[in-house]
């Protein structure tokens, strides 16, 4: 084989291999960008995250999100408004207002929450609930950046014996007091650049959801609650997030 031909053959193989490697790197970078490029949205319980569980990410400094969610079985019977505000690149606070929409007189005080990002894969969150039948919740969150997988361990803190409920935690049966220690899990997978599949476990509630972002100013949520120890039938949630 002539030396010139052999050299050209080797060069063409190197170019071919380099082309395959470049395509692989491109697809990996595209996956990483799609997995972590979505703007954080407010959860049902407040703070930014997946559908129920606070995520590891925080809103951009000076950023804010407002959200409304409605939950029910055959019809919606409860709802919540929340606002999330970020004052720095590692912390955010939220105010949550729960209320009934099925005609019941159910006046509740606002819930206050905060999250601090310790590092890219770790954060702490706290929920201060002043309502007389709810406990406060504190949790440590760990996982993969971008809210792809978030695992958390937390505790509920009761100020008196009448506080039997909490936003997070497991119940042994209907009417029982929530467990003092709880485990949470949140996960997200980008179906495309604008739609995310979420899966959350908050100690009692398990929700599979979809979040579709139209732009940074608007995203819509839809979720399915499986039956649990308190609710014998499945429930649905719909909501909207608004960015500022």
pTM of the model: 0.81
Q: What b/e sequence results for 32-58 when a residue is b if at least 16 CB atoms lie within 10 Å of its CB, and e otherwise?
A: eebbeebbbbbbbbbbbbbbbbbbbbb
What's the pLDDT at 104?
67
DSSP designation for 146: T
Strands, E assignment, 20-103: 41-42, 48-49, 64-72, 76-88, 91-100
Average of per-residue pLDDT across 186-193: 94
Question: Beta partners for 149?
Answer: 144, 187
Residue 11 has pLDDT above 60, yes or no: no
The alpha carbon of 26 is separated from its chain's Cα centroid by a whole number of angstroms, namely 28
Longest dimension (CA), the chain: 92
| pLDDT, tens only, 111-135 | 999 999 999 999 999 999 999 999 9
What's the pLDDT at 107?
73
- Residue 70: CB partners within 8 Å, gap ≥ 6? 76, 78, 79, 101, 237, 238, 239
Structure-model confidence comparison of residues 160 and 242, the more confident one = 242
CA distance 21 to 95: 48
CA-closest candidate to residue 223, choices 115, 54, 76: 76
Mean pLDDT of the residues in the chain: 86
| pLDDT, tens only, 13-32 | 434 444 444 444 334 334 33
| pLDDT, tens only, 53-105 | 999 999 999 999 999 999 999 889 999 999 999 999 999 999 999 998 876 66
């Amino acid at each position: 084989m002539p030396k010139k031909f052999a050299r050209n053959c080797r060069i063409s193989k190197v170019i071919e291999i380099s082309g395959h490697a470049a395509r692989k790197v491109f697809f990996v970078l595209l996956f990483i960008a799609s997995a972590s490029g979505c703007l954080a949205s407010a959860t049902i319980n407040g703070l930014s995250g997946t559908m129920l569980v606070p995520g590891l990410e925080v809103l951009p400094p000076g950023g804010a999100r407002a959200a409304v969610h409605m939950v029910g079985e055959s019809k919606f019977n409860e709802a919540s408004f929340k606002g999330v505000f970020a004052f720095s690149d590692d912390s955010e606070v939220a105010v949550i207002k729960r209320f009934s929409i099925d005609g019941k007189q159910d006046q509740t005080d606002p819930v206050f929450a905060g999250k601090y990002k310790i590092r890219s894969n770790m954060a702490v969150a706290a929920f201060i609930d002043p309502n007389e039948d709810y406990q406060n919740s504190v949790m440590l969150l760990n996982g993969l950046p971008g809210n792809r997988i978030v695992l958390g361990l937390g505790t509920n803190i009761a100020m008196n014996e009448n506080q039997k409920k909490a936003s997070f935690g497991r119940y042994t049966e209907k009417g029982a007091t929530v467990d003092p220690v709880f485990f949470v899990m949140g996960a997200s997978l980008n179906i495309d650049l604008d739609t995310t599949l979420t899966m959350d476990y908050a100690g009692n509630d398990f929700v599979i959801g979809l979040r579709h972002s139209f732009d940074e100013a608007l995203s819509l949520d839809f979720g399915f609650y499986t039956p649990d120890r308190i609710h014998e039938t499945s429930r649905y949630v719909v909501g909207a997030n608004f960015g500022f």
